[in-house]
């Protein structure tokens, strides 16, 4: 199995990995703490860990690239006209974090002229650090990732995440068809099922309610591992993306044919 050559990392990737390391130290230290929770306007929770992790990431990234834009879950977006835009969710899965459930992560991605060119996904408490850079492959803990080549839906493992919008649409029956055919259905959720997909350990991920900050880094990780990552209409991920269909190339078009058009 190929191992990552540190010398191939760009200055962007080195900065993103350093920022993820800073955030990991903070989230690990606060993981078992009885943190005060504030509820944001969208009714999602935010804690000291979210704020401090984002501050640490922002300091590293903008310290290296002060001319870049920064779009953080907690601090919003700066420099809307910047050529480069960093997309950051300091703790994706705050509710899990609060309940000492290890299915949370730090997500850092870089977009250049509306194209995601880099991503780092740090599953701190599960010991999983994945990253990818355009044209350089995808990696997990220094080992190269490749999606599976399973093309038979009867042999596929499909993982689902947030499904509220799909469940409220006629697409729910179409998802039922996929479920009925699959070998196994799981709900690994959050960052983890994308890591499994990129590693060839499952074949597809379906979600209908996401935010670009949740999945930007994961999109390039899956793509650089040889997978196909779109929304449920087949469009590439962008700032307005709200759904995901990610799969190996053998199954993506088959599942898209069933799910396209039911949610935004």
Render pLDDT for 5-29 as a digit per residue (tens, 0 to 9).
766 789 999 999 999 999 999 999 9
Last residue of a domain, one of 109, 144, 179: 144
Q: Greatest CA span in the chain, whole angstroms? A: 51
Closest by CA position to 216, among listed 58, 93, 78, 110: 110
216 found inside a domain? yes
State the virtual CA torsion across 215, 106, 120, 228 in degrees, nearest 10: -20
264 within some domain: no
3-state secondary structure of 88: strand
DSSP 205-239: EEESS--HHHHHHHHHHHHHTT-EEE-TTSPPP-T
Confidence at residue 37, expressed as pLDDT on a 0 to 100 scale: 77
DSSP states along 138-165:
EEETTEE--------GGG-EEEE---HH
Whether residues 13 and 110 share a domain: the answer is: yes
Q: What percent of the chain has pLDDT over 90?
A: 87
Whole-number pLDDT of residue 1: 57
Q: Looking at the structure, tell me whether residues 104 and 41 fall in a common domain.
A: yes
My answer on whether 64 and 39 are in the same domain is yes
Is residue 211 located within the same domain as residue 241?
Answer: yes
pLDDT number for residue 195: 98
Q: How many domains does the chain have?
A: 2
Domain match, 210 and 103 both = no
pLDDT for res 107:
98
Q: At 223, which CATH number?
A: 3.40.190.80
Same domain for 88 and 214: no
Tell me the CATH number at 65. 3.30.540.10
Range of the domain at 201: 153-259
pLDDT in tens, 193-206: 999 999 999 999 99
Domain-embedded: residue 20: yes
Give the tens place of pLDDT for each residue, 188-245. Answer: 989 999 999 999 999 999 999 999 999 999 999 999 999 999 999 999 999 999 999 9
Q: How far apart are CA 130 and CA 124, in angstroms?
A: 11
Per-residue pLDDT band for 80 (boundaries 50, 70, 90) equals: confident
pLDDT in tens, 114-161: 999 999 999 999 999 999 999 999 999 999 999 999 999 999 999 999
Question: Is residue 1 assigned to a domain?
Answer: no
For 22-76, the pLDDT digits (tens) are 999 999 999 988 677 787 777 688 889 999 999 999 999 999 999 999 999 999 9
Tokens of 200: 């060839």
């Amino acid at each position: 199995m190929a191992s990552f050559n540190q010398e191939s990392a760009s200055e962007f990737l080195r900065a993103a990995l350093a920022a993820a390391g800073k955030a990991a130290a903070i989230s690990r230290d606060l993981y078992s703490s009885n943190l005060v929770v504030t509820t944001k306007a969208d009714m999602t929770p935010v804690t000291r860990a979210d704020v401090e992790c984002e501050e640490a990431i922002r300091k590293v990234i903008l310290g290296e690239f002060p001319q870049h834009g920064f779009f953080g879950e907690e601090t919003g977006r700066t420099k809307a006209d910047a050529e480069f835009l960093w997309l950051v969710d300091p703790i994706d899965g705050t509710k899990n974090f609060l309940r000492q459930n290890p299915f949370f992560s730090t997500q850092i991605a870089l977009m250049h002229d509306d194209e995601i060119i880099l991503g780092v996904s740090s599953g701190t408490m599960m010991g999983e650090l994945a990253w990818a850079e355009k044209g350089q492959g995808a990696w997990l803990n220094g080992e190269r990732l490749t999606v599976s080549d399973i093309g038979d839906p009867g042999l596929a493992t499909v993982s689902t995440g947030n499904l509220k919008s799909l469940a409220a649409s006629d697409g729910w029956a179409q998802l039922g068809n996929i479920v009925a055919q699959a070998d196994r259905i799981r709900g690994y959720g959050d960052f983890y099922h994308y890591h499994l997909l990129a590693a060839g350990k499952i074949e597809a991920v379906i979600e209908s309610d996401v935010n670009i900050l949740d999945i930007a880094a994961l999109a390039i990780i899956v793509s650089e591992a040889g997978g196909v990552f779109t929304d449920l209409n087949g469009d590439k991920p962008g700032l307005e993306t709200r759904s995901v269909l990610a799969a190996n190339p053998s199954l993506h078009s088959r599942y898209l044919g069933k799910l396209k058009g039911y949610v935004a």
